[in-house]
Amino acid sequence: MQTVVETEDVWLRIPVWTTETRSLKNVLLRSVTGGALRRSATGAEVEALRGVSCSISSGERVALIGHNGAGKSTFLKLVSGIYTATSGRLKAYATVHPMIQKSFITSPELSGVQAVKAHYLLVRGNLRGFRPFLDEVVEFSGLGDFIHLPVKGYSEGMAARLLFSVLTGFQHECLALDEGFGAGDSQFQGRAQERMREFIDGAGTLIMASHSDELLRQFCQRGLVFNQGRIVCDADLDTALDYYHEHHA
């Protein structure tokens, strides 16, 4: 099978700027969450990913398993190009689309139409087919004429419905999905669940972070268990979940 994402001994160190570093020892913290916190020449740094090596093939559905701070979301951001590895080798042979951000990357001063257009250009690179895409987004989100008003004036539910409608309006070769991504108010949830299922089914390759065993079993077959920024288990999903609950839950 064709490889989509490959990492070899990848480390990601994030600087921490604080006035408290004088009291920190060489190895500062080895806790249940957050990787390792170490002293550096400029202060301190969090080792968010530590020697991560794995390969994900086209068509695989991979679950990222672990407690908060174990490295799941960091790994998603790394493979989708949001973060750059400090050391090691990362190779993405396809575009990994992140469904992680819970707000539009554009200015809230823009209208809904302008925000949708900006995202469409980002994904497609041109505006061919934009009008029918916009019409479908407006219909599914239920925003109607509010689509012409600035996003900053939307309620939280309206903004979430618009963003969800936009992001799930495309098919992607590889999808990086965080379950924390919301779909808006309760009246929208029913429609959103079915659309989300279709969206995930349409992705060629799925990398999904979640705390829900039930959700992971719906969509994934393989599991990567993260602990303190490392992959400690790479196996079929049931084996990975059993390992996590036995050793880290």
216 Cβ contact list (under 8 Å, min separation 6): 63, 65, 208, 210, 223, 237, 241
* pTM recorded for the entire structure: 0.82
22 Cβ contact list (under 8 Å, min separation 6): none
> Structure tokens of 29?
């913290």
Residue with token string 């268990």: 225
Domain boundaries, the chain: 3-95+211-247, 112-207
Separation CA 158–CA 156 (nearest Å): 6
Same fold for the pair 3-95+211-247 and 112-207: yes
Largest CA distance in the chain: 59
Q: What is the structure's pLDDT at 31?
A: 43
Separation CA 215–CA 209 (nearest Å): 10
* CB 53 within 8 Å of CB 231: yes
Q: Give CA 138 to chain center in angstroms.
A: 25
Nearest to 35 by CA among 69, 72, 82: 69
HSE, side-chain direction, 13 A CA sphere, residue 143: 32
183 Cβ contact list (under 8 Å, min separation 6): 160, 161, 164, 189, 192, 193, 196
DSSP 3-state of 126? coil
Say if domain 112-207 classifies as CATH 3.40.50.300: yes
Q: What is the mean pLDDT of each run of 10 residues along the chain (249 residues)?
A: 94 76 49 57 80 96 94 94 94 89 76 94 92 96 95 88 88 85 63 84 90 91 95 98 91
Looking at CATH, the fold of the domain delimited by 3-95+211-247 is given as Rossmann fold (3.40.50)
